[in-house]
Structure formats: structure tokens, C-alpha cells
Amino acid sequence: MRKVLVNIGCGFTVGESWLNFDASPTLLYEKVPFLTYIYKKNEAPFPKNVKYGDITKKRLCAPDTADAVFASHVFEHLAHDEMQSALQNIFAMLKPGSVFRLIVPDLENRARKYIENADKKRPEASLEFISATGMGMKHSPKTLFQKLTRLFGHSQHLWMYDVIAMESELEQVGFVNVRKCIFNDGDIEEFKEVEEEERFKSAFGDEVCIQCEKPNDPSSP
């Protein structure tokens, strides 16, 4: 029987063995031909095997059916309560004993760099920190294209995490065996189809990369 593998917020990184989902509005308007003449955000359209799916709103497969779930650089684009809803849906989707792997930018690394720069009295320290978190807006959108990109882009970061915070969020939902992970150390071979080494690190160091499992007895956290 074929495994049920769910790749959330995939963008253009798709796996042939995976159900690839993205919640970008671009996916929807690309299906309406005349809209692409009015506004075209990406040079190429989304791959054909990407489906629209918003994990904050609903499960993307039936309960207790997913053999693995992967989410790379997704949760920083969600409000905190949306991230919690997403985790609950992912937990419900997974089979008992199955694996979830995630990556988000590491707030601690960026904060440490800010303190280092601030201690050196660098006037750019605060600007560089906000830019590094992806949460600020240096320039307001002025042209129609810029405004549409802000509306449809979903590129803004809404919340940031360090390792301790993300591990706590996962444990509160019920995940167990929560551990840091590295590129290509997943328990399932198919993770290699969707993992990109450069997403595990940044100029600031390792990102928050975590693997966890749904317990074999989900009623027991």
C-alpha cells in the first residue's frame, strides 16, 4: 500500500511520492487565465502536482492516515494561533507512531547576533535584526504590483520561534520523541525528496529543525 506523505507549504519544492500542498492565493488565481495577464507574481506557475490546502483551516488528509508530514519554513508565516491550529490538524492526520519534521527560522540566533552588534554600538544593529526576522516592512507598497504582491505573496513573517518554544508547542499538542534534526537524517527515505540542505541553515547558524512523533497511544501524551 502506498504511503500517505503530506508536504505542507511546499512552494516549488515538491516530492513525487508526496501530496504537495500550498496555501498561496497564487495557486487559485493561476487557474483563472485572464488574471495571470493582470498580475503575475512568479516567473513560472506552480508545479501541476501542487494542490491548494490551508492546514490552519482543515486537515489535508483523513485522520490517522498520514505516514509522515513535512513543513519547511511554513509556521513563521502564520499567526501564533494559526500555527497552533496547524499543529493540531497535523497531529490528527498522522498515524500513531508516524513522524513529523519541521523547519522554522531560529529567533535566538538572530537575537544573539543583534546583541553582539548592539554591544559594538553599530547603528545598523536594530535595522539588520528586524530585517533578519522578516517581520518588518522597510518600504510600504506603492505601485499596484507591490500592493498585489503584499496581498498575495504571504512572504511576511508573523511569528518567530526558538528551539525551546517550538519543542514546547509540539509537546503541548501531544507529540513525543521531540528532537533536533539535521538534513537527511529522517526515518523515512522519502524525506530526501522534499528536504533542501540550505533550508536547515542560514547566515546566523542552524535553524530550528525538529523531528517528532505521534505516540502509538495518542491518548497518552
Alpha-carbon distance 169 to 83, whole Å?
Answer: 9
Mean pLDDT of 77-94: 98
Cβ atoms of residues 50 and 21 within 8 Å:
yes
Task: Supply the pLDDT for residue 143.
Answer: 73
Q: In this predicted model, what pLDDT tens digit does every residue of 23-42 receive, in sequence order?
A: 987 777 666 664 554 445 55
Q: Where are the domains of the chain?
A: 5-105+156-213
pLDDT band of 75, cuts 50, 70, 90: very high
Residue 26: per-residue pLDDT: 78
Phi then psi dihedrals of residue 101, to 5 deg = -120, 140
Least confident of 27-31, 58-62, 102-106, 156-160: 27-31
Architecture of domain 5-105+156-213: 3-Layer(aba) Sandwich (3.40)
pLDDT the model gives residue 12: 92
pLDDT at 39: 47
Whole-number pLDDT of residue 28: 73
User: Which of the two residues, 215 and 218, has the higher pLDDT score?
Assistant: 215
Q: How confident is the model at residue 128 (pLDDT cuts 50, 70, 90)?
A: very high
pLDDT score for 153: 56
Question: Over 80: is that where the pLDDT of 86 sits?
Answer: yes
Which ranges of the chain does DSSP label H, i.e. alpha helix? 25-29, 33-38, 80-93, 107-119, 125-133, 144-153, 163-173
What sign has the CA pseudo-torsion 113, 119, 122, 126? Answer: positive
Q: What is the pLDDT of residue 27?
A: 74
Strand partners for 21: 8, 51
Residue pLDDT, tens place only, 139-197: 676 776 556 556 555 678 999 999 999 999 999 999 999 999 999 999 899 999 999 99
**pLDDT for res 169:** 99
Query: Chain-wide mean pLDDT for the chain?
Result: 89
